Amino acid sequence: MCVPSDSASLQESAGSGAEWTVLVVDDDPDMTAVADAYLERLDGVSVRTSSDPDAALARLSEVDCVVSDYEMPGMDGFALLDAVRSSRPALPFVVFTGSLDERVAERARDRGARYVEKGPMGGGFDRLASEIERLRED
């Protein structure tokens, strides 16, 4: 797996004319790399990753869905969600986090976002891929 060398960089995966673009935002480049690998396996999906929420906001016009970690320095996932909602209110948004606090899940749902736990052993990435497939069908 390729890990971005510049933690604030925005990377685009090599996709072949994908119909749906997902932006994964997480301050941990290993997590973005794994999410990229899982989601790229879905038919018709291309993935962009960002370790910087501010840089991610500049790319919203290019994506069909945002997947964001909750706990990030500078701007947490809910601040990012609020910023996304102010410019693209209908853009699908998934809070993808290791936080097991049910209040985080409730906050996500209350704001019209989906919530997926990262969980141990990669199970969260399978759930994330399933959630992305459901969002594409909606």
Give 76-94 pLDDT, tens digit per residue. 999 999 999 999 999 999 9
**Structure tokens that stand for 10 in this block:** 């925005």
pTM to 2 decimals?
0.85
Which domains occur in the chain, in start order? 18-123 (3.40.50.2300)
Is residue 96 within 8 Å of residue 68, measured between CB atoms?
A: yes
pLDDT at 114: 97
Give 4-40 pLDDT, tens digit per residue. 333 333 444 434 444 899 999 999 999 999 999 999 9
Is residue 48 within 8 Å of residue 24, measured between CB atoms?
A: yes
Is residue 3 within 8 Å of residue 29, measured between CB atoms?
A: yes
pLDDT at 101: 84
DSSP state of 131: H
pLDDT at 100: 78
Which residue from 98, 18, 118 is spatially nearest to 64, judged by alpha carbons? Answer: 18
Q: What pairing do the DSSP bridges indicate for beta strands 45-50 and 10-12?
A: antiparallel
